[in-house]
Structure 1
Amino acid sequence: MNDDKEPQDGGTSPWMKSLFIWAGILVALILFVTMFDSGAEATDNTLAYSDFLDRIEQNEVQQVEINEGYISGTLTDQSTFRTDMPPRVAVPMDEMRDAGIAISGRPAEQASIWTYVLLNLLPFILIFGIAFLIIRQMQKNAGGGAMGFGKSKAKLLTEKQGKVTFEDVAGIDEAREELQEIVEFLKDPGKFSRLGGQIPKGALLVGSPGTGKTLLARAIAGEAEVPFFTISGSDFVEMFVGVGASRVRDMFEQAKKNAPCIVFIDEIDAVGRHRGAGLGNGNDEREQTLNQLLVEMDGFEANEGIIIIAATNRPDVLDPALLRPGRFDRQVVVPRPDIDGREKILDVHMKKLPLAPDVKSRTIARGTPGFSGADLANLVNEAALLAARKGKRLVAMAEFEEAKDKVMMGSERKSMVMTEDEKRMTAYHEAGHAIVSIHEKASDPIHKATIIPRGRALGMVMRLPERDNYSYHRDKMHANLAVSMGGRVAEEIIFGYDKVSSGASSDIQYATKLARDMVTQWGMSDEMGPLQYEEPQGETFLGYSQSKSVNMSDETAKKIDSEIRLLIDNSYSRAKQVLTDNADELHALANALLEYETLSGDEIDELIETGKFERPDGETVKPSTVPPGGSSIPKTKPRKRPFGDAAPEGA
């Protein structure tokens, strides 16, 4: 664990030290007020000087004591009194002697010069002392202080417990191997130097958020057995020009004292952005910090034995001088894991859970395409929380499925009340997607169909590929277009043209985007040919897919729109033909969804093949094939506007 959390100074914890400091300040303030308020007595025994003279005449004074500036004493009724002497008034010695009053006196106290100086300096000492303690505390929290404002904030990682090694890193084998070579170089430099090899000066980890860049760095710290400094790119940036550069110099000075060592800079794009892209004329704080980092990594002075490892998910914004060989010699891409990598990552996270016998990490990996390592860790945690909420002792496959649905589609909207008509419409919509998917050979197999509202969706048909796909063929794209139109077509042929709902908005959006990419980027249109009409923008591996149209004539733009429309029309016709030819299957699946709300892919396949299926509890179900309101598909009303030309043969 981090040594900073352990108590220091003989076991006194930091909060106890703060308590003692503030208690001392409070005691000093009380003494200060008491010192200046000393001599002040209660006002109920104070006499006016004229009353004191009257008491002398009436023989009511028994004894007096003459002090500097005032007279105190005792009355005949044994009560005490005090009276202040007016200026330039003599003490009435004769009157008191005639009245037989016992008179005594106290000599004036002569305060030393040191006491006088102390009394005058005490307020300033208290003020400066409190200010010093406050500033010291702020400096501790800021990690450096006024004199250490330019000191590096890099922390020396010394993990004795909870150590992460390469065995804890799964699913990114290629990236792990490249970094493992750096660790081996630090352990045995001679193995590589015998053949003239030199240790790389830096390695840049590039990947989407959550893919395991920081985990890899922690694994290097656990494996290297050398000092490991960690710092964030934002720790260099301050509002004062020159502070970041000073911190870079101090960081490398610390690293030289501990060489060989590793310095890990997380989110380096905070300080390494392209110079000249910001405000100012190149003399601002961030650019000075970057310049100093460039010099320290590869300048006149060689920093032998210091390896810089940095992580970012925005390599496109980094300065080219930072990426050249000699600074970051290696750029290690940390991709999203494939199905084998996801299975290994799930196995790592599942070690901590008591699993039921039916849990299969391969099945979960198949159902989570595109998930990063952080997403999979969150999925496993959600499954454990669901099992604990239900009071179970083991985490079963049902919890993982529910957790996956929650992560991918959102929580169930149990408070949402749907009418029977809306529920029937949703069932036929999802059944339309499923039936078209089953009869399109190039479509991925169905994993689950549900009409339970989740997030913004009223239902969903989830299809899972047998393996990860890195490219798509033309037949698969046409199949996906037809499946996306299946829900809209099912609504129209079952409930009529005027009853079509807005539930297909996301399907239409997906189909339009896919058809446009087929025509403008992938050359899937015979009319337009294998030409690029749109330029993809942004880093595609980060999940951003934007496109920008190139310069084209109005005639070309019209042809593109026409080809996109033709693809959508053909897919609509294909979906309509499939659902019309397999009406009984459509009704049977819709009725099963209305009754059970969620069906697995195996149950759907069994229903299509045999007309019945078996539930997990052993119940055999044979749904009705009768549509709502009759025994056959109702005829649709004529379209007010033709959707498009009829599909050509074999489309």
Structure 2
Amino acid sequence: MPAKKNSKDTPKLQKSTISFDDVVGHTHIKERLKSIIKIIKDPKKLEAFEVPVPKGLLLYGPVSVGKAMLAKAFVHEAGLSYIEIAGSKLFDLEYIKQVYEIAAKSAPSVVILEDIDIKGLMQGAITNVSFSDIAKVLESIDKMVFTIATSETLDGVDPVLTAPQKLDFLLEVSKLDKDARQFFVEKILQKPHDPKIDTERIVRYIAGMSAMDLERLGRMAALSVIEQGGSEITEDILIEQINIIKYGHKVETKMVKNLEEEMRMTAYHEAAHAILSSLLLPQIKIEQVTISRRSNMLGFVSYNAEDDMTNITKEELFNDVCVLLAGRLAKMKKAGENKMDSGAIDDLSQASINIYAAITALGMDKELGFINIESIALMDNYFLSQQIEKRFLHWISVAQEQTKKLVDKHWKLIDALALKLIEKEIVESSELEKIIGKTRVSNKIPETL
């Protein structure tokens, strides 16, 4: 006798109570979703173009930016019922077929496939969801069942599922925008707080953080106040908690040998990064420079996450390499070449990656020209290897020489910032701007590159 199915496992249609008004920020995405709703609600407009009615969309982007809420707001706005499939159920093909059968009987309706790029463990092996099987299920449904899938990346979803008449629309839900961050800050400030807190500054500092991070920020700020025996959240407490979430906890001074000398050298290292970055890459705004040691790093220059470069020029790439090399060269200038240490390992790694990419992938080298060897390297590991090595070493040498000249030329600014860091540990963007003043620089790429 076959086992009875648990009624709890039977898929059920639901109504969403979440509207677009409940989703903070993401204005552009919400407008796109409203446009898609109009298309599926009035498919006659497609007939003139002989285009079939779209069957689905993919919302992809970082964790905790509101993809699931946007999906449910879509359902609410469209006035449809939905069934959600998530977790282990995404690996159960029979369950997925059952969901679509139920949804088809109540069409028009929506099926939400949440976190479809999830990994599972089957027979001891890590595996993906069966994208091809899900694609076949979508093909088999002839009723108006619209599918909304969410994932962390576009690459994590097999193209078989993003082909036409499956997930037709591909919408990237990026990190929280300014309106969303403002909302979270206002939510945090519903707790007892110092009225002098600069909310604009806090909104800038939390750029790049997820909704989960910001929920945690409010919770940890409140706990920090209680720990310290205070009565309200202050700006310093918020900044410290932001830095803990982004960069790790402060390291106890007793854990660091030769602390005073270490901090002094770190001050010159970070000062060189900050000064050259401000001069060579002024479009990327610096939030703060600090030598406060944390579990994830010695010191750091904190940039505004909204100013990330996307389409980078050769000049910007070369300038970025100079910024990366500046820390080590400033320490060597201050302490002598024999005091070279391992503190620049991440800088050297990133500088090397930048240069290698410029030569082999971005077609930016003067001698090797417009090449991209990524696909060729799969067939021939040694293709142009000697020429690439020669040009790579030349780029590094030229960048090092150029950076040394820049460090020497702007040493007064680096020294002034380093001394300020030694005195205060943290220097904010406004103070950094005062130190730099009206200094401007043009760093032309050497002819040999």
**Aligned mates of 2:246, 2:170 — CA distance in 1:** 29
Change in Cα spacing, 1:235 to 1:494, as seen in structure 2 (3 Å) is: same
User: What do the CA deviations read for 1:163-217 (whole angstroms, capped 9, x no partner)?
Assistant: 422123244334323332454567xx4x543774865332232334334321212
Pairing partner for 2:241 from 388, 403, 406? 403
The answer as to whether partners of 2:67 and 2:173 remain within 8 angstroms in 1 is: no
Q: Structure 1 residue 298 and structure 2 residue 139: aligned? A: yes
- The structure, 1 or 2, with the larger RCO (C-alpha pairs under 8 Å, 6+ apart) is 2
Give the secondary-structure state (helix, strand or coil) at the position aligned to 2:302: strand
Q: Structure 1 residue 172 and structure 2 residue 26: aligned? A: yes
The answer as to whether partners of 1:353 and 1:395 remain within 8 angstroms in 2 is: no
User: What do the CA deviations read for 1:426-446 (whole angstroms, capped 9, x no partner)?
Assistant: 222222223333443657343
Change in Cα spacing, 1:236 to 1:405, as seen in structure 2 (3 Å) is: closer
Change in Cα spacing, 1:236 to 1:576, as seen in structure 2 (3 Å) is: closer
Give the secondary-structure state (helix, strand or coil) at the position aligned to 1:303: coil
Shift of 1:522: 1.4
Change in Cα spacing, 1:522 to 1:383, as seen in structure 2 (3 Å) is: farther
Shift of 1:591: 2.3
Give the secondary-structure state (helix, strand or coil) at the position aligned to 2:174: coil
For residue 442 of structure 2, what is the aligned residue in structure 1?
Answer: none
- Calculate the TM-score normalised by the size of structure 1: 0.57
Q: Which structure carries more helix by proportion?
A: 2
Pairing partner for 1:193 from 44, 53, 57? 44
Shift of 1:512: 0.6
The answer as to whether partners of 1:523 and 1:529 remain within 8 angstroms in 2 is: yes
User: What do the CA deviations read for 1:394-416 (whole angstroms, capped 9, x no partner)?
Assistant: 65543443233222211212353
Count of equivalent residues: 428
Q: Which amino acid counterpart does residue 560 of structure 1 have in structure 2?
A: I
Gapped regions of structure 2 (runs ≥ 5): 124-128, 439-444
Pairing partner for 1:499 from 339, 346, 351? 339
Give the secondary-structure state (helix, strand or coil) at the position aligned to 2:177: helix
Q: Structure 1 residue 346 and structure 2 residue 346: aligned? A: no
Change in Cα spacing, 1:262 to 1:572, as seen in structure 2 (3 Å) is: same
Q: Which amino acid counterpart does residue 170 of structure 2 have in structure 1?
A: V
For residue 594 of structure 1, what is the aligned residue in structure 2?
Answer: 422
Change in Cα spacing, 1:393 to 1:354, as seen in structure 2 (3 Å) is: farther
The answer as to whether partners of 1:209 and 1:313 remain within 8 angstroms in 2 is: yes
Change in Cα spacing, 1:590 to 1:297, as seen in structure 2 (3 Å) is: closer
User: What do the CA deviations read for 1:29-63 (whole angstroms, capped 9, x no partner)?
Assistant: xxxxxxxxxxxxxxxxxxxxxxxxxxxxxxxxxxx
Change in Cα spacing, 1:200 to 1:395, as seen in structure 2 (3 Å) is: farther
**Aligned mates of 2:231, 2:18 — CA distance in 1:** 28
Q: Structure 1 residue 266 and structure 2 residue 114: aligned? A: yes
Q: Which amino acid counterpart does residue 193 of structure 1 have in structure 2?
A: K
My pick for the range that moved more, 456-465 or 486-495, is: 456-465
**Aligned mates of 1:396, 1:361 — CA distance in 2:** 11
The answer as to whether partners of 1:442 and 1:475 remain within 8 angstroms in 2 is: no
**Aligned mates of 1:514, 1:595 — CA distance in 2:** 34
Change in Cα spacing, 1:371 to 1:295, as seen in structure 2 (3 Å) is: same
Shift of 1:578: 2.6
**Aligned mates of 1:249, 1:521 — CA distance in 2:** 44
Give the secondary-structure state (helix, strand or coil) at the position aligned to 1:352: helix
Pairing partner for 1:413 from 215, 234, 251? 251
User: Percentage identity across aligned positions?
Assistant: 27
User: What do the CA deviations read for 1:124-155 (whole angstroms, capped 9, x no partner)?
Assistant: xxxxxxxxxxxxxxxxxxxxx93116995435
Change in Cα spacing, 1:568 to 1:364, as seen in structure 2 (3 Å) is: farther
Change in Cα spacing, 1:465 to 1:248, as seen in structure 2 (3 Å) is: closer
For residue 110 of structure 1, what is the aligned residue in structure 2?
Answer: none
Change in Cα spacing, 1:549 to 1:588, as seen in structure 2 (3 Å) is: farther
Give the secondary-structure state (helix, strand or coil) at the position aligned to 1:479: helix
**Aligned mates of 2:301, 2:394 — CA distance in 1:** 25
Shift of 1:370: 4.7
Give the secondary-structure state (helix, strand or coil) at the position aligned to 2:166: coil
Shift of 1:574: 2.4
For residue 551 of structure 1, what is the aligned residue in structure 2?
Answer: 380
RMSD over aligned CA atoms reads 3.8
For residue 87 of structure 1, what is the aligned residue in structure 2?
Answer: none
The answer as to whether partners of 2:39 and 2:45 remain within 8 angstroms in 1 is: no
Change in Cα spacing, 1:549 to 1:496, as seen in structure 2 (3 Å) is: farther
**Aligned mates of 1:463, 1:319 — CA distance in 2:** 34
Pairing partner for 2:4 from 124, 141, 147? 147
